[in-house]
Amino acid sequence: MEPTENNDAAEHARRAEQISAKLQTGGMLPIHTGGSGLYVKFISHGISPAPPSDAALREELNALTLDEAVARLRELDPEGAASTDLCNQRYVVRNLEIVILGGKPLSYWRNNWQEPRGTGFWIMRDTVELDARIARRAEQMLQDGAIEEVAALEGLTLSTTASKTLGLAQVQDYLKGRCTRSELVSAIALATRQYAKRQRTWLRREKWLTPIPAGAGDTPRQLAEKIAALLR
C-alpha cells in the first residue's frame, strides 16, 4: 500500500482472505504470521461484530483532547476504559466510538467473536532475550535504510495508519536534528519494547493460541518443526 492510503484490521483481513483463497485453490496451506493482535484476530475469528467507524462521529471525537476523550470513555464504560491503553488516543477514540455507536460496553463486543477458524501459536521468549533482540533490530533497521526511507516521504500527507508506523516518529525527530543516531536507536528500541509488552498482554489473553517456548539458540527452522509436530 502507498503511505498515503489508510488501512485497518477489516481491510487487512479482506486482503488476507483473498490471498488465502488463492493459495487453498492451489492446494497450499495459508500461514498468517506476525502483526498487530487485532489484525491477527480479524483473520482468525472473522471481522469484529463491533460497529464500523462513522466518519462524522470520528471527526467529532478526534477534536477532543486525550483527557476529554478518556473522561468520556470512563463515564460511558468504566470497565472498558480500565482495559484500554489510555495513553493512546487512537485506541481511546475507537473504543469510545464503539461504545457510542453500539450502545453496549466494550466487553460485549470483545466476548462475541466467532470461534477461531484455525490453529494458532505464539513464540514465547524470555523478556531479557527479547529486549536484546529488539535492540539489535533497531540498529539493523537503520543499517537497512530506514532513515533514507523516511526522508523520501517528505512532502507526502501520510495516512493515519502510516503515521503510526513504529519508528517513524523517532526517525523524523532525527532528521529534524532533535536527537543523535545513538539516541535514535535507543528511542526506536524503547518504543518497540513498549509495543512488545502490549503484545504479550494480548497474547496471554488469547487462550486459543498455544505458546511455543523459544530459547536463545533456537533457529527459525527448529521453531517451525516444533509447531509442525503439534499440527501432525
pLDDT for the residue 228: 92
Cell triple for residue 217? 539458540
Residues 6+ apart with CB under 8 A from 137: 189, 192
Residue 178: predicted pLDDT: 97
pLDDT at 89: 87
Q: Which pTM was predicted?
A: 0.78
Write down the architecture of domain 50-112 according to CATH.
Orthogonal Bundle (1.10)
Rounded-to-integer distance, Cα 108 and Cα 89, Å: 22
pLDDT of residue 226: 93
Report the alpha-carbon angle 226-231-232, nearest 5. 100
Q: What is the pLDDT of residue 52?
A: 81
Q: pLDDT in tens for each of the 232 residues of the chain?
A: 899 998 888 889 999 999 999 999 999 989 998 878 889 999 999 887 888 888 899 899 999 999 999 999 999 999 999 988 898 888 899 999 999 999 999 988 877 788 898 899 999 999 999 999 999 999 999 999 999 999 999 999 999 889 989 999 999 999 999 999 999 999 999 999 999 998 998 899 899 999 999 998 999 999 999 999 998 8
Return d(Cα 110, Cα 49) in angstroms, integer. 9
What pLDDT is stored for residue 173 in this prediction? Answer: 97
Q: Residue 188 to residues 141, 142, 185: CA-CA distances in angstroms?
A: 9, 10, 5
pLDDT at 182: 97
120-231: CATH topology: Helix Hairpins (1.10.287)
Cα–Cα nearest to 101, from 42, 36, 66, 49:
49
Residue tagged 501459536 (cell numbers): 121
Domain borders along the chain are 1-48, 50-112, 120-231
